[in-house]
């Protein structure tokens, strides 16, 4: 993060300074050339009428040329159209010498040239001297003017120095800023990590409270939610284990009581033996049912990999279930009504779905009133099948409607026991439906009846 801050802060600054200084240099050099060009034009205008170029001795022009050369800290060399050197402010050449260079020759074709010698810090401007008569322009000579760029260089290096000082100050600021903020950003994360480690070591009771910026607080909140969820799961697991032991013990306790009371008495009539043995058999059956339900539940709790999916005709499936359950309903004179709105084929695990729906219908019969009714209806749209199981039974109090899907939960323990309930039926049903990515809802009013609505996707979603 520190590195990123530095890269983001310093590199653009460096590029910006570089571009700024370069464009200043170009602009300053351009300006200087233009100034030099103007000087040369003025000088040409002065010298043309004097015959200076034809080697006449005109001291004022010579002085002016020298003055300009001085001002520009450079050198001026003037040649006439014979390439004869008329003036050299350095005094190295005189009128006997000729100046033949590419730039000077080009001047006589009307082209001036600008050269910036960066190494030696000077500019060379070679410019024709033009004499304009009424109808034509004649090139009568050329001026080669050198000028030092030291003044530009001086300003440039001052600017450079300031830019370096500014960059260093900024870099320092960025480093301090980056150190401060990277610490501020990573410290809470480090705390989260150590909290997770702490939790992994088994200290589940602790909550994480980390104050930082918004996202970190959210992480800490989510983390706490996760811990709470884990605690709940752990609590439920322990509760389940103790419920299981309790539920399994109850029939055994009854069996023991029944057997003990037979053993303690002498000369018991055979009828009493029979009666007690019938009770004992019932308790054994009950124990068996609990164990079977538990096994179903445990199997369902395993991964969805155990699903045995195939295309099933749901209408037929419901009819089979009802055929099996109608005799039971009949015993209490309960009418079972089945309505199907359309043929429904769905990809489901037949055994599991059959178990889930049977549980709902069995409950509708078990928790009904004599002469009541149970209505099962089947419908579907393009995505889901809908099964509705309604009854005219005792209903479920509003406040416990959320609890009935919990394992071993029973609204009325005595009634459930009478009817052979284990409290596991709805837990199994809900598990099966969830394994099919479906949903189950209960609507009930105490004393009036209950409706369970089930929705299952027609195509199995793994
Ligand atoms: P059980 O084996 O006791 O029937 P379930 O898990 O199937 O266990 O149901 C849990 C509890 O929900 C039942 O004990 C009963 O109190 C209540 N219940 C379930 N279905 C109905 C219903 N159709 N009408 C009234 N109460 C119901």
Instruction: Give CATH 1.10.287.130 domain extents, the chain.
Output: 214-298
**Mean pLDDT of the 228-253 span:** 85
Is residue 253 within 8 A of residue 283, CB to CB? The reply is no
Nearest ligand 1 atom to alpha carbon 394:
25
Lowest mean pLDDT among 44-48, 70-74, 125-129, 187-191: 187-191
pLDDT at residue 84 is higher than 80: yes
In whole angstroms, give the CA distance from residue 75 to residue 85: 13
Is residue 143 within 8 A of residue 78, CB to CB? The reply is yes
Is residue 356 within 8 A of residue 323, CB to CB? The reply is no
In whole angstroms, give the CA distance from residue 70 to residue 292: 114
Nearest ligand 1 atom to alpha carbon 410:
14
Pick the CATH number of 214-298 from 1.20.1440.230, 3.40.640.10, 3.40.50.2300, 1.10.287.130: 1.10.287.130
Find the angle CA(325)-CA(331)-CA(336) to the nearest 5 degrees: 45
pLDDT at residue 394 is higher than 70: yes
Per-residue confidence (pLDDT) for residue 416, from 0 to 100: 72
What burial class does residue 344 get, using C-beta atoms within 10 Å of its C-beta: 0-12 exposed, 13-18 middle, 19+ buried? Answer: buried
Lowest mean pLDDT among 35-44, 45-54, 250-259, 313-322: 45-54
Question: Residue holding tokens 């300006």?
Answer: 31
Show the ligand 1 pocket: residues with CB < 6 angstroms.
359, 363-364, 367, 391, 393-396, 404, 409-412, 416, 421-427, 450
Confidence at 302, pLDDT banded by 50, 70, 90: low
Per-residue confidence (pLDDT) for residue 237, from 0 to 100: 82
Q: pLDDT over 70 for what percent of the chain?
A: 97
Confidence at 299, pLDDT banded by 50, 70, 90: confident
Q: How far is the CA of 453 from the centre of ligand 1 (A)?
A: 15
Q: How far is the CA of 429 from the centre of ligand 1 (A)?
A: 11
Per-residue confidence (pLDDT) for residue 305, from 0 to 100: 62
Instruction: Give CATH 3.30.450.20 domain extents, the chain.
Output: 2-156
Pick the CATH number of 2-156 from 3.40.50.261, 3.90.1150.10, 3.30.450.20, 3.20.20.70: 3.30.450.20
Residue 197 corresponds to which tokens in the numbers above? 């480690």
Q: How far is the CA of 290 from the centre of ligand 1 (A)?
A: 15
Beta bridge partners of 391: 374, 450
Confidence at 31, pLDDT banded by 50, 70, 90: very high
Phi, psi of 261 (to 5 degrees): -65, -30
Q: What is the mean pLDDT of the chain?
A: 88
Nearest ligand 1 atom to alpha carbon 359:
7
**Mean pLDDT of the 145-161 span:** 92
Nearest ligand 1 atom to alpha carbon 389:
23
Q: What is the dihedral of CA 396, 399, 403, 404, to 10 degrees?
A: 0
Q: How far is the CA of 395 from the centre of ligand 1 (A)?
A: 9
Q: What is the residue with the minimal CA distance to atom 16 of ligand 1?
A: 411
Per-residue confidence (pLDDT) for residue 96, from 0 to 100: 79
Per-residue confidence (pLDDT) for residue 303, from 0 to 100: 62
pLDDT at residue 348 is higher than 70: yes
Which of 410, 424, 452, 454 to probe ligand 1 with, by most ligand atoms within 8 A of CB?
410
Per-residue confidence (pLDDT) for residue 212, from 0 to 100: 67
Nearest ligand 1 atom to alpha carbon 413:
14
CATH architecture of 304-457: 2-Layer Sandwich (3.30)
Identify the residue with better confidence: 416 or 167: 167
Which of 365, 426, 432, 454 to probe ligand 1 with, by most ligand atoms within 8 A of CB?
426
Per-residue confidence (pLDDT) for residue 304, from 0 to 100: 58
Q: How far is the CA of 230 from the centre of ligand 1 (A)?
A: 28
What burial class does residue 58 get, using C-beta atoms within 10 Å of its C-beta: 0-12 exposed, 13-18 middle, 19+ buried? Answer: middle
Nearest ligand 1 atom to alpha carbon 391:
23
Q: How far is the CA of 370 from the centre of ligand 1 (A)?
A: 17
Is residue 362 within 8 A of residue 428, CB to CB? The reply is no
Per-residue confidence (pLDDT) for residue 69, from 0 to 100: 93
pTM > 0.75: yes or no: no
Is residue 129 within 8 A of residue 112, CB to CB? The reply is no
Residue 76 corresponds to which tokens in the numbers above? 């001026």
Residue 307 corresponds to which tokens in the numbers above? 């699903």
Q: What is the dihedral of CA 239, 241, 244, 249, to 10 degrees?
A: -110
Per-residue confidence (pLDDT) for residue 182, from 0 to 100: 80
Beta bridge partners of 77: 88, 144
Confidence at 236, pLDDT banded by 50, 70, 90: confident
Confidence at 227, pLDDT banded by 50, 70, 90: confident
Lowest mean pLDDT among 52-66, 367-381, 427-441, 447-461: 52-66
């Amino acid at each position: 993060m520190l590195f990123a801050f530095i890269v983001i802060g310093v590199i653009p600054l460096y590029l910006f300074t570089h571009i700024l200084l370069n464009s200043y240099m170009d602009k300053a050099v351009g300006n200087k050339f233009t100034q030099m060009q103007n000087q040369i034009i003025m000088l040409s205008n002065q010298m043309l009428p004097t015959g200076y170029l034809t080697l006449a001795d005109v001291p004022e022009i010579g002085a002016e040329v020298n003055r300009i050369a001085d001002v520009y800290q450079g050198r001026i060399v003037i040649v006439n159209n014979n390439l004869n050197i008329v003036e050299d402010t350095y005094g190295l050449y005189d009128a006997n010498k000729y100046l033949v260079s590419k730039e000077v020759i080009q001047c006589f074709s009307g082209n001036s040239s600008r050269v910036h010698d960066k190494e030696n810090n000077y500019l060379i401007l070679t410019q024709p001297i033009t004499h304009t008569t009424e109808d034509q322009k004649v090139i009568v000579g050329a001026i080669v003017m050198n000028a030092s760029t030291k003044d530009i260089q001086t300003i440039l290096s001052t600017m450079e120095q300031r830019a370096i000082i500014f960059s260093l100050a900024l870099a320092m600021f960025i480093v301090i800023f980056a150190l401060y903020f990277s610490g501020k950003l990573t410290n809470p994360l480090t705390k989260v990590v150590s909290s997770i480690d702490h939790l992994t070591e088994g200290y589940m009771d602790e909550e994480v409270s980390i104050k930082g910026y918004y996202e970190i607080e959210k992480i800490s909140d989510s983390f706490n939610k996760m811990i709470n969820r884990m605690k709940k799961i752990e609590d439920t697991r322990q509760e389940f284990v103790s419920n299981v032991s309790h539920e399994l013990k109850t029939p055994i306790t009854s069996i023991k009581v029944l057997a003990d009371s037979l053993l303690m008495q002498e000369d018991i009539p055979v009828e009493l033996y029979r009666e007690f043995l019938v009770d004992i058999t019932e308790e054994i059956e009950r124990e068996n049912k609990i164990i079977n339900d538990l096994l179903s539940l445990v199997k369902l709790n395993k991964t969805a990999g155990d699903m045995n999916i195939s295309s099933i005709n749901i209408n037929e499936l419901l009819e089979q279930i009802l055929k099996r359950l109608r005799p039971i309903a009949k015993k209490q004179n309960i009418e079972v009504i089945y309505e199907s709105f359309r043929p429904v084929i769905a990809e489901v695990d037949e055994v599991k779905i059959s178990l889930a729906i049977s549980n709902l219908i069995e409950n509708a019969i078990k928790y009904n009133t004599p002469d009541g009714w149970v209505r099962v209806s089947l419908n579907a749209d393009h995505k889901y099948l809908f099964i509705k199981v309604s009854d005219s039974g005792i209903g479920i109090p509003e406040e416990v409607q959320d609890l009935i899907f919990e394992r071993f939960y029973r609204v009325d323990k005595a009634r459930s026991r009478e009817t052979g309930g284990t409290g596991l039926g709805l837990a199994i049903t809900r598990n099966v439906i969830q394994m099919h990515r479906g949903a189950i809802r209960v609507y009930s009013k105490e004393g009036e009846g209950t409706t369970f609505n089930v929705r299952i996707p027609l195509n199995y979603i793994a």
